[in-house]
């Protein structure tokens, strides 16, 4: 049986692509140190646990640890606003509390 040029080219291309797949570096991340955050919809009045501040902001829950974080925005909006400065402000989170996730089966 005679194999034509087209079949040889296609088989060579398949072998080459399989070699590329087999020899590429594999990155595996067993546990990510990055938090898995869920941002609750809407805006809430965030009160620091020590009672020193009360601001409007967004609530985020770390789904891995159960920590509840407050991100102050200063206004009822999706991001922080500073009317006195031209630079975009950064919202520094503070810990509001924690859910005990160990009781969930």
- The ranges assigned to domains in the chain are 37-103
Q: How confident is the model at residue 3 (pLDDT cuts 50, 70, 90)?
A: low
- In sequence order, what are the residues at sequence separation of 6 or more whose Cβ sits closer than 8 angstroms to the Cβ of residue 70? 44, 46, 48, 55, 57, 58, 59, 60, 93, 94, 95, 96
pLDDT value at 12 more than 90 = yes
Alpha helices in 47-101 (DSSP H): none
Interval 45-100: pLDDT, tens:
999 888 888 889 999 999 888 899 999 988 887 888 888 888 888 889 999 999 88
| pLDDT computed for residue 16 by the predictor | 92
| pLDDT computed for residue 2 by the predictor | 62
């Amino acid at each position: 049986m005679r194999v034509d040029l087209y079949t040889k080219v296609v088989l060579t291309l398949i072998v080459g692509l399989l070699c590329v797949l087999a020899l590429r570096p594999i990155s595996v991340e067993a546990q990510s140190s990055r938090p898995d955050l869920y941002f609750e919809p809407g805006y809430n009045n965030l009160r620091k646990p020590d009672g020193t501040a009360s601001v409007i902001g967004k609530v985020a829950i770390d789904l891995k640890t159960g920590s509840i974080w407050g991100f102050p925005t200063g206004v009822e909006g999706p991001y922080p606003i500073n009317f006195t400065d031209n630079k975009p402000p950064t919202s520094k989170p503070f810990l509001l509390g924690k859910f005990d996730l160990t009781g969930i089966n």
